[in-house]
Structure 1
């Protein structure tokens, strides 16, 4: 059974006239009759009865018409879905993000995506930079919103905004309540840091600021979970590090950690959109276009 035979049969069912059905399909009447005959031979039943005066569907033809219309409609819908997906108008795009991207980048970008591409689903995953880039490399993510631009090949990137970093301490720490401290004061504190491969750009920014001030950080603990860092500094005299966005959010929670501005120098990190260099899909391009037009992005003043 061929799809074109179903289309021809439905044209006959609509018109109940071979001449009009053939004209509608841009076929000759003999060609249309041959297609109907092949369909009837395949099914083993007569679908259309015709005389010199009229054309009508048989009982088998009327039953077959219902299912044939459903089949043709589903094929047409499948074709439309394929065209929509190829054009980036339907489907799913997987996006990784970190805390500042969730607060300053995604709201405006997703609003634009919903307005311009309502058929596209954006699947979100919050992760640190290292895991995001690994997922991007293996194809699990389509776009990553991360700290720092990748240093390995195979990626393209776009800078979105610059974020200052702050120290975070517990309510009982001697720095709690201070508007800010010089970075060199960290020489007299014990710190919480994290493995570099979790977030290379933030790690390097902290150590670069320490090198500029001529101090060596005393790392008392290594914790790779930002929430875990917040818990530890709230119950110990240790100093942790966070983006200004996360620090401001944590400081707004009663009884939570206290962000402390660092200066001279102010450590800062850049937030980037990163995607694979090859095989960019229309869905990725749609998200990246919305990301571009939703900007420029800014971090609110504390």
Structure 2
């Protein structure tokens, strides 16, 4: 046999690694086969072939499924890294092969009004790059990090921050949280809204999609001895439902820039959210670097233009440190 062929026969290629990872995640041959859209006997053969190639058992088989051996647990993150690198290789090759402009895939909390950080960052990114194309996806806080790690997106504007190794993030802006009520509400025009007001009617909140923001609101309410019972609502539906008098909500202050009629925004004291840009540490793409720089530039501009909405998170951290030191 040719040495190259022999090397290929002993190589744990992507197909075998995908079978290994699917079974590691599902813990059940039938479920893992369905995840990969292949027959269960085919999955079993691929896993056994990988074990022969590597020379170690990767799973403990039981009548109810399969669990990783010590060797399997050790090799799982390595297999994930190999597949991620393969995906990057394919993406780079396709970018070279296709002459049309590549698409930068980013995630950001939506809806995002005109003049917000997202639109300002895209404007600055496209300055001098008229052919650049950006696809914007609305993912939950938890989905953003995994989508980045899995190379499904290239960068993210996030309320949630970094949750996985291999990801980098930079804090951009902090903005207060406002209570959102319909026009004509007794608190319209008030300087502040007590947290207890959010429990007076249905609290419409995207708990699953904006879990990080919900955690901050829930903890603040708990500290104030206020019980909040949210009605899970898609982010895109919150503004319209509140305007129609179907409930209230709590939203970042930048949503005041939306042109939705019938809404009143009232500050919730002591509550704010922090937006960061997140990307893969190993991503050396010039487009990603340019987008991060555009986010940084847009944040600086918005802080200077609308200090009533956006503030510098580093300045806020410094003030908190000084306040804490003098307490």
Interval of TM-score (by shorter of Structure 1 and Structure 2): 0.5 to 0.7
2:260 to 253, 265, 275: 253
Match of 1:291 in 2: 295
Match of 1:158 in 2: 170
Partners in 1 of 2:114 and 2:159 — Cα distance? Answer: 13
Runs of 4+ that moved beyond 6 A:
none
The offset of 1:165, in angstroms, is 0.8
CA-to-partner distance for each residue in 1:50-109, whole Å, 9 max, x for gaps? Answer: xxxxxxxxxxxxxxxxxxxxxxxxxxxxxxxx9x97xxxx63322222245863324443
1:230 to 216, 230, 239: 239
Partners in 2 of 1:194 and 1:111 — Cα distance? Answer: 28
Could you say what secondary structure the match of 1:180 adopts?
coil
Of the two, which has the highest radius of gyration?
A: 1
The offset of 1:270, in angstroms, is 0.4
Could you say what secondary structure the match of 1:132 adopts?
helix
Gaps spanning 5+ residues in structure 2: where? 1-92, 310-327
TM-score by length of 2: 0.55
8 Å contact from structure 2 (residues 205, 235) kept in 1 = no
CA-to-partner distance for each residue in 1:267-299, whole Å, 9 max, x for gaps? Answer: 111001011233332321222233334441536
Match of 1:217 in 2: 228
Partners in 1 of 2:299 and 2:122 — Cα distance? Answer: 12
The offset of 1:189, in angstroms, is 4.6
Match of 2:85 in 1: none
CA-to-partner distance for each residue in 1:231-258, whole Å, 9 max, x for gaps? Answer: 3333446321111111x135x533x222
TM-score by length of 1: 0.59
Could you say what secondary structure the match of 1:103 adopts?
coil
CA RMSD of aligned residues (A): 3.3
1:192 to 191, 204, 208: 204
Could you say what secondary structure the match of 1:140 adopts?
coil
CA-to-partner distance for each residue in 1:152-194, whole Å, 9 max, x for gaps? Answer: 3231101110011111112353323434223344454542233
Match of 2:275 in 1: 271
Partners in 1 of 2:240 and 2:118 — Cα distance? Answer: 27
